[in-house]
Structure 1
Amino acid sequence: MTPLTSRSATAEHGHVPALPGAGRPGTETPLLLAAGTVILPDREHSPGWVEVRGGVIVACGAGEPPRPADVELPAGVLAPGFIDAHNHGGGGVSFNDADTNAVAVRITQTHRDHGTTTMMASLVTAPIDEMERLVRALAELVRGGLLAGIHLEGPWLSPAHRGAHAEQLLLLPDPASVDRLMGAGAGAVRMVTIAPELEGGLAAVARIVEYGAVAAIGHTDADYDLTQAAIVAGASAGTHVFNAMRPLHHREPGAALALLDDPTVFAELVADGVHLHPAVVRLITESPARPVFVTDAMAAAGAADGDYKLGALDVRVVDGQARLVDGTIAGSVLTLSHAVRYAVLTAGVPLPLAIRAATQNPADLLALTDRGRIRPGLRADLVLLDADLNVHATLLEGAWV
């Protein structure tokens, strides 16, 4: 039995401890894990255990395991691997960079070190020729299994709430441009952020959904009624709710309240202490909508402060905050492990709800039915957290990463 009782050699620091059962994904070597708390879809076991074989979960239960555990964390938490539906980069590089294969490997490894086992590649607004090229290149990595899909955050955004997107590159969502980028992905584009108030916006929402992708309302000046109309047209998510959208007002509640008031909507939030006050983090997670923690990470996640690019724009990262020269927030340096820790320890979000927001809710958002939950038959993507919710180790399809 291998107890994990020290953080001195954890994945949070980029070092995976020598653990039994390590190998390539899908290994047939059985592995039994025990922890002080195991987070299941609708309940938690304290203590509990999970058995893995062949890259999948084969059994789980409450109390003492049926045999001596191979790995146990008596004061820790065993949860599904984190799923990041909105991520632009990490490790010093971004998905908008030219060397697509190399940067994607680097970004995914950076975030795997922090418990993220599934990741979308988010693209910021760029010239449409460049976006088409990037979509085609990233689609190959989606088909190869490195990425879960592509998220287009642009170019169909409101100039009034463009955030860290170059205004001169924004476009109206006409059928030709929508078909061009969605067609380039050949099914790999799984989510698109769009401002529905733009000319042709509601029709574009329906068109995006017809392609099998999630239409997410964001970077928008839409009011409450128009946002509701977009939901009727097929939109099912809100991109980093409250950020880059019309502010809440008691006589004009704007897009945020329309999104949070609908239990069919998935509400992205960036729980990093910069994008949202902790009380607002708690408000979103307790709303009727289904909360989804995202990083919105840019290249500086897992890297040093300094000067970076986010698409066409210059970004300076100081004290862990990424901003344009005018002070506009430009993504984050967040990891999902930190988002969970911040939500629980600072914002007061209950641990099971925080774990769901980083696992099963994004899995449902992206229609990933084989992961995101601890359940027999699903992929053995798991994360071991210590008592302080730091990542001890991560399993990807049953192998330590």
Structure 2
Amino acid sequence: MAAEDSPRRTVLSGRVHTGYAAHEDGLVVVEDGRVHYAGPRSGHPGGGPGERRVLAPGQTVLPGLVDVHCHGGFGADFSSSAEGPIRATLGSFHRQGTTTLVASLVTASREDLLSAAPRLAALTEEGLVAGIHLEGPFLSTARCGAQDPAWMREPDLALAAELVDAAAGTLRTMTFAPELPGSRELAELLVARGVVPSLGHTDADTGTTDAALRHLEALLSAVPGGGAPRVPTVTHLFNAMPVIHHRAPGPVPACLRAAAEGRAVVELIGDGTHLDPFIVAWAFQLAGADNIALVTDAMAATGLSDGTYTLGAAEVRVQDGVASLVSNGSIAGGTATMLDVLRQTVAAGVSFDDALRSATVVPARVLGLSGEVGSLRAGALADLLVVGQDLELSAVMRRGEWLPTGPPH
């Protein structure tokens, strides 16, 4: 084999966590942008040509983090910014350890949604994002959160089909309120078009929520295909929902029970702002890490200083890292990265193994990408982080290439 045809090869040795298990004396072998081996050193000879890196004491190799709910960051808003700033923002997220993310769009006018979707679809085709999440427009005006109620509406199947078509096969999930008339038909359209339905921004009672989740589970389980069955998701559990009351429990208990039974995956914004740390740890105890996807709900101010930013068309003020609408003070997305969320979740009392699984393995499964991202195993894309004992970031590799943060130091 000619020298120029030799595989690009990197061998990392030290502590390795594959997303499923930790190996104190581990090895990761990367060839041509994919993981060739990840596991105990004793399972692979580790020889051959290529770059060799020995981790420093206290360092660990982790899978690249996966965020299925992100509206922007580093100055760009996925709903309203131009392609150039969005590209720069995606690069910044990758360098901060979120090597796979879904671009979320807030509720907006039909014209704005149909304009934003093709732009993000093109970036998906390039592999810069993992697809699109539509957070609306079929949401409850009683639970609009930071979203504009002027553009919320009851499910419109013609509009839904237009949005799916505009995304050109890249729409991964859509959030809707199950109590709205036409929501069952909307769910059927989404599943038929390969989109995972997500309940959220809802004022539904417990019975309505439970019935909707069982309907979604039945729809998704009937979809042919190999691997683990797909399940519905719940958009940022607890947020933009009624609080639990002992005589009117609302949607949260139904969502937690469905998750505990493996019938749904619930998102948690574990950034220390959207949820009390006790609630985060409690949700892990009730639902289990395999049924939780940690998310950021990040907006344009992520990675930047306090100031005034936008979320779609809304003006947002960020003070002490907390984003809120200028108009009414509602929390308006997050300003943490996925690595920040991972740290906060561990600080809340969740075991590192569980928190990592919910930041990698589970969201990858939600996207149907378990064989590609979210874990270190043979055949997967070589997306990985090197972190210190306090989860400080040392290096990021994406698709087998060290990003500008450089190789581990």
TM-score (norm 2): 0.88
Q: Is the 8 A contact 1:206 1:233 kept in 2?
A: no
**In structure 2, do the counterparts of structure 1 residues 305 and 90 end up closer, same or farther at CA, with 3 Å as the change threshold?**
same
Q: Is the 8 A contact 2:177 2:201 kept in 1?
A: yes
Which residue number corresponds to residue 11 of structure 2? 32
Which residue number corresponds to residue 332 of structure 1? 334
Q: Is the 8 A contact 1:156 1:170 kept in 2?
A: yes
User: What is the rounded CA distance, in whole Å, between the counterparts of 2:278 and 2:81 in structure 1?
Assistant: 39
Q: Is the 8 A contact 1:267 1:284 kept in 2?
A: no
Which residue number corresponds to residue 180 of structure 1? 162
Cα shift readout 1:323-360 (whole Å, capped 9, x = no counterpart): 0132210001010000111111x201111111111111
Aligned residue identity for 1:283: W
User: What is the rounded CA distance, in whole Å, between the counterparts of 1:239 and 1:122 in structure 2?
Assistant: 11
Cα shift readout 1:268-305 (whole Å, capped 9, x = no counterpart): 11111110010111122233361111110000001121
Q: Is the 8 A contact 1:27 1:398 kept in 2?
A: no
Which residue number corresponds to residue 249 of structure 2? 253
Of the three residues 216, 230, 233, the one matched with 1:237 is 233
| Alignment partner of 1:130 is 2:132 | no
| Alignment partner of 1:266 is 2:265 | yes
Which residue number corresponds to residue 99 of structure 2? 117
User: What is the rounded CA distance, in whole Å, between the counterparts of 1:27 and 1:242 in structure 2?
Assistant: 51
Cα shift readout 1:249-271 (whole Å, capped 9, x = no counterpart): 22322212211112121111111
Q: Is the 8 A contact 2:19 2:356 kept in 1?
A: no
Which residue number corresponds to residue 349 of structure 1? 350
Aligned residue identity for 2:24: S
Structure 1, 296-305 or 171-180: larger mean CA deviation: 171-180
Q: Is the 8 A contact 1:77 1:386 kept in 2?
A: yes
Which residue number corresponds to residue 396 of structure 1? 398
**Per-residue deviation, 1:43:** 2.2
Which residue number corresponds to residue 151 of structure 2? 169
Aligned residue identity for 2:292: P
Of the three residues 198, 210, 213, the one matched with 2:192 is 210
Q: Is the 8 A contact 1:39 1:78 kept in 2?
A: yes
> Quick one: percent identity of the two aligned structures?
39
Q: Is the 8 A contact 2:20 2:357 kept in 1?
A: no
Of the three residues 142, 146, 149, the one matched with 1:160 is 142
| Alignment partner of 1:44 is 2:27 | no
Q: Is the 8 A contact 1:196 1:217 kept in 2?
A: yes
Which residue number corresponds to residue 387 of structure 1? 389
Aligned residue identity for 1:28: P
Aligned residue identity for 1:272: D
**Per-residue deviation, 1:48:** 1.6
Q: SS state of the match for residue 121, structure 1?
A: strand
Which residue number corresponds to residue 221 of structure 2? none
Aligned residue identity for 1:252: A
Q: Is the 8 A contact 2:138 2:176 kept in 1?
A: yes
| Alignment partner of 1:74 is 2:57 | yes
Which residue number corresponds to residue 105 of structure 1? 87
Structure 1, 201-210 or 75-84: larger mean CA deviation: 201-210
Q: Is the 8 A contact 1:341 1:390 kept in 2?
A: no
User: What is the rounded CA distance, in whole Å, between the counterparts of 1:28 and 1:396 in structure 2?
Assistant: 16
Cα shift readout 1:134-167 (whole Å, capped 9, x = no counterpart): 1122111112211110000111110010001111
Aligned residue identity for 1:255: P
| Alignment partner of 1:53 is 2:31 | yes
Q: Is the 8 A contact 1:51 1:59 kept in 2?
A: yes
Q: Is the 8 A contact 1:40 1:373 kept in 2?
A: yes
Aligned residue identity for 2:301: A
Q: SS state of the match for residue 55, structure 2?
A: strand
Which residue number corresponds to residue 317 of structure 2? 316
User: What is the rounded CA distance, in whole Å, between the counterparts of 2:302 and 2:312 in structure 1?
Assistant: 16
User: What is the rounded CA distance, in whole Å, between the counterparts of 2:382 and 2:311 in structure 1?
Assistant: 34
Q: SS state of the match for residue 220, structure 1?
A: coil
Cα shift readout 1:351-401 (whole Å, capped 9, x = no counterpart): 111111111100000101311111111111111111111111111111111
User: What is the rounded CA distance, in whole Å, between the counterparts of 2:136 and 2:24 in structure 1?
Assistant: 44
Q: Is the 8 A contact 1:95 1:103 kept in 2?
A: no
Q: Is the 8 A contact 1:363 1:372 kept in 2?
A: yes
**Per-residue deviation, 1:92:** 0.8
Which residue number corresponds to residue 205 of structure 2? 223
**Per-residue deviation, 1:63:** 4.9
Structure 2 gaps of 5+ residues are: 218-231, 404-409
Q: Is the 8 A contact 1:27 1:53 kept in 2?
A: no
User: What is the rounded CA distance, in whole Å, between the counterparts of 1:386 and 1:217 in structure 2?
Assistant: 36
User: What is the rounded CA distance, in whole Å, between the counterparts of 1:218 and 1:282 in structure 2?
Assistant: 21
User: What is the rounded CA distance, in whole Å, between the counterparts of 2:85 and 2:367 in structure 1?
Assistant: 23
**Per-residue deviation, 1:129:** 1.0
User: What is the rounded CA distance, in whole Å, between the counterparts of 1:257 and 1:30 in structure 2?
Assistant: 48
Structure 1 gaps of 5+ residues are: 1-25
Which residue number corresponds to residue 284 of structure 2? 285
Q: SS state of the match for residue 46, structure 1?
A: strand
- Aligned residue pairs, count: 373
